Amino acid sequence: MQENDIKNAENGTDERPLTRIQKRNREAILDAALEVFSAQGFRGATLDQIAAQAGLSKPNLLYYFPSKEAIHTALLSGLMDIWLAPLHAMNPDGDPRDEIMTYMRRKLEMSREMPRESRLFANEILQGAPRMIEGIEGDLKTLVDTKAAVIQHWVDAGRLAPVDPYHLIFSIWALTQHYADFDVQVRAVLGPGHDPFAEAGNFLEMLFGRLLAP
Amino acid sequence: MQENDIKNAENGTDERPLTRIQKRNREAILDAALEVFSAQGFRGATLDQIAAQAGLSKPNLLYYFPSKEAIHTALLSGLMDIWLAPLHAMNPDGDPRDEIMTYMRRKLEMSREMPRESRLFANEILQGAPRMIEGIEGDLKTLVDTKAAVIQHWVDAGRLAPVDPYHLIFSIWALTQHYADFDVQVRAVLGPGHDPFAEAGNFLEMLFGRLLAP
DNA sequence: ATTTTGTTTGACCGACCGGTCAGGTTTTAT
DNA sequence: ATAAAACCTGACCGGTCGGTCAAACAAAAT
């Protein structure tokens, strides 16, 4: 007989620890799926494309994930936390302008270093967020509500120019993610010899600097 | 015998004038295609969806347009002019701040009244603009270059706060289109009882007012 | 009234889609 | 060494994809 009831101490579900091969292939699949989903959207992407990108056969993909849907869900849920981290890090006890400027800088940095993730989210929301609306109405709204209240307190205390906290946050999202999501357009318009993200950094420093000045 | 060589005076191609039925059905198809393409992207959309939305049979679609690709192209080329119109209307002889604020207001108005068109463009650019890169590198870049030069002259003449003209235009695009493209997210975060576009109007008036103040 | 032209559709095609499965191969545990 | 477990694949399945076509139908011109 065989000891079979392995319990994972972290979550109580019965999961065996991942083998080297499982770890390597799951990562390869998720990376390939990020590449393809972010460039094609969910419906536009195919398992064959993802398999080819990952260097695996299609049946082998489905050995590690039960369905196309499951791969997509795994990507989105894994990314939600990463995406919210910079906003989560905004400190109510810090200096108002510093905190908001730091948040903006971190979001721009994420756009530069994780453009595929940004485009994955953009694709999903553009298409009505059918597989993400729960997380948006839940975790995301809760976090934004919390941080918007913090900003509102700063405004009420006269420590910040009077701005609508929600639309301030939206403006940071819009401006920073634009450089990842519309990268092709930005580069085509600017032409060669430009560093869009570096220029955006300077521009956004000035824009938000002026917006938040008392 | 029949007089058959009808020449269109406008472009020299031999096109008969459109029938009432042709006009009606072409419009129905393009409207349905806008609905579906903007919500699903090119690859994600199907001819059956478009046909159903238009109230026509699939073969009948292909009686009016030779292919899925042709419908998409017709939509994009028809929309490019509409999309560029507000920027085109920016008057070099007008008051700098008025001209830029008016441009921002028109873009926000377009986001409110033509969200499907905005999402169609967003989908295309997100996915690398494979069917639009020509127009972006051509007409769009040319127009932006021209207007950026105008803005730069305003800055050089001290009539406007010193801003990078290209990124000023990008910021207007990002902020106004965000409310159309990410409508689902914006509404989910704000919750019920909000008019996102009205609030955005107020917020952007203040934001660009402060940015452009001398 | 009839012929010509324009419009519409059901049936169908090959290609591709997500997903399955039996069986082979490699790795790991004993 | 060998048995068990984990890993991988070619062949295949039913459904959907974009697109075709012959034939029926409707509108307009004569």
pLDDT mean over B40-45: 96
Strand D and chain B: which residues 45-64 have CB closer than 7 Å?
Answer: 45-49, 58-59, 62
**How far lies B183's CA from each of A200, B106, B189, in Å?**
24, 18, 10
| Contact status, residue B162 vs residue B213, Cβ threshold 8 Å | no
Confidence of residue B11 (pLDDT cuts 50, 70, 90): very low
Mean pLDDT of chain B: 92
> What's the DSSP call for residue B44?
H
Interchain proximity A128–B191, CB inside 8 Å: no
Please report, to the nearest 10 degrees, the dihedral formed by the alpha carbons of residues B75, B77, B82, B84 taken in order.
140
Q: Is B58 on the interface with A (CB under 8 A)?
A: no
* Torsion sign across C-alpha atoms B46, B52, B58, B60: negative
Structure tokens at B2: 């029949």
Q: Is B180 on the interface with A (CB under 8 A)?
A: no
Statement: residue A18 has pLDDT above 80: no
Q: Which stretch of DSSP H or E encloses residue B147?
A: helix B141-156
Q: How many Cβ atoms sit within 10 Å of the Cβ of residue B147?
A: 21
Taking contacts as CB-CB distances below 8 angstroms, the residues of chain A near B210 are: 161, 210-211, 213
pLDDT mean over B21-44: 96
Quote the minimal CA–CA distance from B4 to chain A in Å.
43
Over residues A104-144, the pLDDT tens digits come to: 999 999 999 999 999 999 999 999 999 999 999 999 999 99
pLDDT of residue B4: 36
Q: Which domains does chain B have, with CATH numbers?
A: 3-66 (1.10.10.60), 75-212 (1.10.357.10)
Interchain proximity B44–A41, CB inside 8 Å: yes
> What's the DSSP call for residue B45?
-
Over residues A169-213, the pLDDT tens digits come to: 999 999 999 999 999 999 999 999 999 999 999 999 999 999 998
pLDDT of residue B15: 55
Over residues A62-82, the pLDDT tens digits come to: 999 999 999 999 999 999 999
Rounded Cα–Cα distance for residues B90 and B85 (Å): 9
pLDDT of residue B65: 98
Structure tokens at A207: 């824009």
Confidence of residue B7 (pLDDT cuts 50, 70, 90): very low
pLDDT of residue A16: 61
Percent pLDDT > 70 in chain B is 92
